[in-house]
Structures are given as structure tokens and as C-alpha cells.
Amino acid sequence: MSDKENRQLKGFNNFSKFLAIYLLIGISMLYMYQYFTRTQQVEISYSKFKSLLLEDKIKKCTISEKYISGVYLSKEGKEKRFITVAVNDPDLVKELQAHHVDFSGKVTNTWLTNLIFGWILPFGFLFFIWWLMTRKMRGTSGGLFGFGKGRFKVYLNEKPDVKFSDVAGAEEAKQEIQEIVEYLKDPQKYQRLGGRAPKGVLLVGAPGVGKTLFAKATAGEAGVPFISISGSEFIEMFVGVGASRVRDLFNEAKKLSPCIVFIDEIDTIGKSRAMSSLTSNDEREQTLNQLLAEMDGFDSSKGVIIMAATNRPEILDPALLRPGRFDRQIIVDKPDVKGREEIFKVHIKKIKIGGDVDIKKLAQMTPGLVGADIANIVNEAALLAARENADSVHMEHFEEAIERQIAGLKKKNKVISEEEKKRVAYHESGHAICAYLLPGADPVHKISIIPRGLSALGYTQQLPVDDRYLLTKEEMLDKVITLLGGRAAEELIFGSISTGAQNDLSRATDIVRAIVSQFGMDEKIGLMVVEEPTGPRFLSGDGFLARADKVSEKTKEMVDEEISRILKESYDRAKEILQNNRDKLEKLASELLKKEVINEEELKAIMEGDSGN
């Protein structure tokens, strides 16, 4: 916790004690006033008062315009105080004299008393408490109750203790940021040649790739204060609060320079103002305008670097991305196989692993996963080993953790009929045999008919040998045939099909649609791009808006016909492969029903048996 936060917390605790004391004093004064003004008075009716008077029980009384109060003798002979309402009784004085009661009159002028005790003191006390609260809770520039004070966290020179050695899997991004570190350490090196540091650095990447970790490592390497805040912490229900917090953030940054200001999830306040009038928000737009003005107004030579992170750059306002604001835009991509291996090494340091753990194989088993996923896998493997009371974490624990991350929780107690289990075994065997025999498909690592997750009754795990960035048409078609192999096996063995191929059909259709309409790989459609790729266009000039649809209805019909044709040809090819290897299909499914899980070595042994192609 920073010194500023400690001061704020200490001040708030002192204020709480101060307020509690004043509330206690106020309540005590109120009770004392009630006690001394109306102590143990018994309220009686005027008729009872007259009865007590006739019985010579009234000892003394005081008569005012509205009340008669005094002392009377109870049945036990004790004196008690009483009060009753005064009425127009002309004979009262004569009766009091006749019964020798000590009485006196009292002129009551209660307007001043009512004014003081009924209005001035209560409202004065409340006003004093209100003034005290507002004086304690308002900031220097924050407005009432500190709504406009920036809710950022400040890490001074000793924090954060994250270094670049703690960040793995994104060497290119690390090299880009290294220049920022060198500038913060030695600004004169660049200034003597007339150069200046970038005002802002925007880190772009999928969730979990380590954007926040990169920002902390930058501050840790440079040894400068690190100011962190989330974009959502600027926004409140009151218009103008966000802009005030932006001003407070930059004022604090100037005091701590050289430093790094990190705004996480900047898309919360940096959405494009041209998106739609229906989603217009005055508070967000004022906050964005203030941020733009502050970034224009401060001098980067003072050593203040603004870093921000987002996984939705396509919705950011173009004014944020222009040179002079976020000059440098660094994409923190998902790690490749080498990067995942380095990430595993970083996280495995914290646990005790067995000698059979192959980090390189773990990296191959996790294509497409990011640093946060890998950290979760390592932790899950450690928990699984602890649950089994193992001395260390072994490869089997890591494999189970990876399968849990990708396919979901194993459900051994899920009741499945023998007929369904048999169908699932043939379905997964169809996938595996097509993948084994087709050169463009990824190698099979494991086949399982153990239910996982919400709906997966089985799965075939394929692992790419290397990370692929380009695919040929033949390789994509082999993937489609592999996906359709499960449905083809069901039709071949049972003469009917089930709903189990729903996800396979969806993925196969997406691949074929991309072949036809996006990659120009279909002879009939030609080189024309019919559909734009879905998903965000990182840092593209088009922003979040999709291009207008410029193809004719006739072309769309041709696309649909070609997609249907390619899917049918691929399905026929899958059935042909399985028909030619039916004996292997039968044997593999039989082994699956016995063992439930088959690895790549067992699959290879079955596929390299006596039967043919």
C-alpha cells in the first residue's frame, strides 16, 4: 500500500472515531435534556387531579397556561410528581386554598424555548455533523465526498517487483517495451539527438496474454513509480466525475515523474464517439475528452509514460490512436509453442514436479492457450496431485489438468446406456482413423469416451507438431474430412446417424465457408472475397464497422451451392476411408469400449495391423 493510501486510510479512521464521539455526545445530551425536563412525572387526567385534591392528597402544584404540575401522595404514602392539562376552572383557586395546598402560578412564554430546543439545537447539530463530514471527505480537487478523486493505486520505487524475467512467451513485445525502459533510465540518451519518448503505449491482445504483467514489468525494470487504474473506475453516475478523476490522475503522475501510468481496459472510457447516438453517454464522452486533453497537455520529456491495455482495439476512438497520444501500439499475441514452453517453466518453478514431466510436450498439448490458461493448468495439476496425496506433480496430473481446461470436468458417474456408449466409441474412432490416414490432419494424441463438460460424451485430442500460420486448401479439406469422420462411422456401422455430430458439422461448415468465400480457393467463385472475416480487426483502419455487402444474390446462391458440394464430397471421402479400413474401425472401437482411453502408441499399433489401406 502506498504512502498516500496509508494517509487516506489513517485520516478516514480518525474521522470515524471523531464522528462516533460526537454522535455519542449528542445522544447523551438529548437523553439528559429529556430526563431533567420531565423526570418521573406521572400524567394524570384532570378529573383524577380533582379527586386527589378533594382527598387532600395534593401537596403542592404549579399552575401555567397549559399544564398543572406538582406533587401528590400515593396510596403507599409516597410523594410522586404529576402533570395534567389545565382547563378553565374558576373555582380551582378556592378549592386549593380550602384544602391548604401550596400552589403558585407560572407565566409560560415557550416560543423561545421551543425555538432553541426544537429547531436551533437539533438542526445546528446536524449541520455541524454534515459540515464535518464534507470537510473530512472532500479532496483538494475531488469535490464533495471525494467522488472526483482518482481511485488509482500507486506503487513506489520498491514496487512492483515484477521483472521481464517473470514475463515469458512474447519476446517481440518485450523488445518493443525495452526501449521505454531505457528511456526512463536514461532520458538524456535520446533527448541529446532531439528525440522524445512516445507519450503513450497501447498494449493490445486477447484476455490473459499478460498485458498488465508487461506494464508492471516495465515499471519494475525501470525502477520508477507505477500508477495503476482500471478504465471502469473513472465512471460514476454523476456527470463530470470521470473528467475530475482524469485530472487528478495526471496531477499525481506529474508529482511522481518519472513514472508509468497504466490504464487497464481503456475501452471502457475510450469507445468511439461515432459508434451510435443510441449508445451516447455524456459522462464517458467527457472523461474521454479530458483524457485526450491531458495527453496533449503534458510533456513527455518529464518522464511520464502512459500505458494502456485493451482486448477490443477496434472500438477505440481514432483520436486516441493518433500520433501524439498513443504513439506506439504493441500487439501482445498468443504465445507460440516455444513461448508456451517458457511460460510453463516460469510457473512450474513454484511447484514440486516429478521426473517424468516433459515441458516441451506440455507446450505442444496446449495450442492456442495463453499465459493465464497455462498458470491455471499448473495450479490445477498441483491440486490434483495434492488430492491424491502424491509426493510431486507428475505428467498424468498435467495431462488431466489440460483436458479439464480444454474439454471440461471428467464425469465418470454420468449414466450412459451401452448403446449410446457404443455409438460414441465408433464416432470417435471414425475421427481418429481419418486423422491418422490423412496427411493434412494433425496427429492424434488421445481418444476418450469418458464424458466431459456439459455435453461432450467423448473426444479425440489432436496435437499439431508445430504452430501453423498458413494452411493449404488440401490441409483444410483434410480437417473437414476428419471432422465428418465421426458421423460417417455412425452411418457405416449403425445405418443411422445421431445428434452427436452437431459441433463437428458446425466447425466443418465454417472451414468450407472460409475456403469458398474468404480465401479464394474455390474454382467456381474464383478470387473474389465474398465475406469479410468475423471478429475484431486489431488496429485496422476500418474500426468496428463491417464493410457493406457488395455481392449479388446470385453470387450468394453460388456460394451456398459450393459449400454444400464440398461438404458432400468430403463426407463421401470420409465414408470411403472408413469402409476401406472397417476392420481397424471395429478393432479400435472395441478397444475403446474396454479401456475408455487410448493413446497415440496404442492407436498406431492398431492402425499398423495386417488389414489394408
pLDDT digits (tens, 9 = 90+) for 304-318: 888 899 988 888 888
pLDDT band at 108 (very low <50, low <70, confident <90, very high): low
Cα 487 from Cα 504, distance rounded (Å) = 8
Q: pLDDT tens digits, residue range 508-526? A: 999 999 999 999 999 888 8
In the structure, what pLDDT confidence band is assigned to residue 27 with cuts at 50, 70 and 90? low
CA distance 339 to 333: 10
Region of 271 please: left (phi>0), alpha (psi -120 to 50) or beta: beta
**Residue 32 above 70 pLDDT?**
no
Q: What is the pLDDT of residue 434?
A: 94
Of the ranges 151-160, 406-415, 566-575, which one carries the lowest mean pLDDT score?
151-160
**What pLDDT is recorded for position 24?**
66
Q: Does the pLDDT value for residue 256 go beyond 70? A: yes
Q: Report the distance separating Cα 467 and Cα 471, nearest Å.
A: 11
* pLDDT tier at 538, thresholds 50, 70, 90: very low
Query: Each residue of 419-447: b (16+ CB within 10 Å) or e?
Result: eebbbbbbbbbbbbbbbbbbebbbebbbb
Q: Quickly tell me which residue has 458421423 as its cell.
A: 487
Is it the case that residue 6 has pLDDT exceeding 60?
A: no
Q: Is the peptide bond before 187 cis (omega within 30 degrees of 0)?
A: no
Q: List, in sequence order, every residue forming a beta bridge with 229; answer none if it has no partner.
A: 263
Residues 58 and 99 sit within 8 Å (Cβ to Cβ): yes
Any idea of the CA torsion for 235, 238, 244, 248, to the nearest 10 degrees? -60
Residue closest to 432 by CA, chosen among 401, 471, 458, 460: 460
Average pLDDT over residues 223-232: 82
Residues sharing a CB contact under 8 Å with residue 396, sequence separation 6 or more, in sequence order: none
- pLDDT at position 488 is 95
> Radius of gyration (Cα) for the chain, nearest Å?
40
Q: Tell me the C-alpha distance between 351 and 374, whole Å.
A: 14
Query: Nine-digit cell at 486?
Result: 465421426
Q: Which residues contact 127 (CB under 8 A, 6 or more apart)?
A: none
Grid cell of 396 as nine digits: 498424468
pLDDT at residue 22 is higher than 60: no
First to last CA, the chain: 68
User: Which residue's entry shows cell 478523486?
Assistant: 149
> Which one-letter amino acid corresponds to residue 99?
H
Residue 542: helix, strand or coil by DSSP? Answer: coil
**pLDDT at position 251 over 50:** yes
- Flag whether pLDDT at 545 surpasses 70: no
Hey, what's the cell of 412? 465418470
Q: Which of 233, 283, 428, 490 is catalytic?
A: 428
Could you tell me the three cell numbers for 360? Answer: 516441451
Average pLDDT over residues 465-493: 90
Confidence of residue 28 (pLDDT cuts 50, 70, 90): low
Q: Is 428 assigned a catalytic role?
A: yes
pLDDT of residue 548: 46
* Distance, CA of 334 to CA of 205 (rounded, Å): 8
Q: What is the pLDDT of the chain when averaged over all its residues? A: 79
Q: How far is CA 267 from CA 148, 232, 264, 317, in A?
A: 20, 9, 9, 9
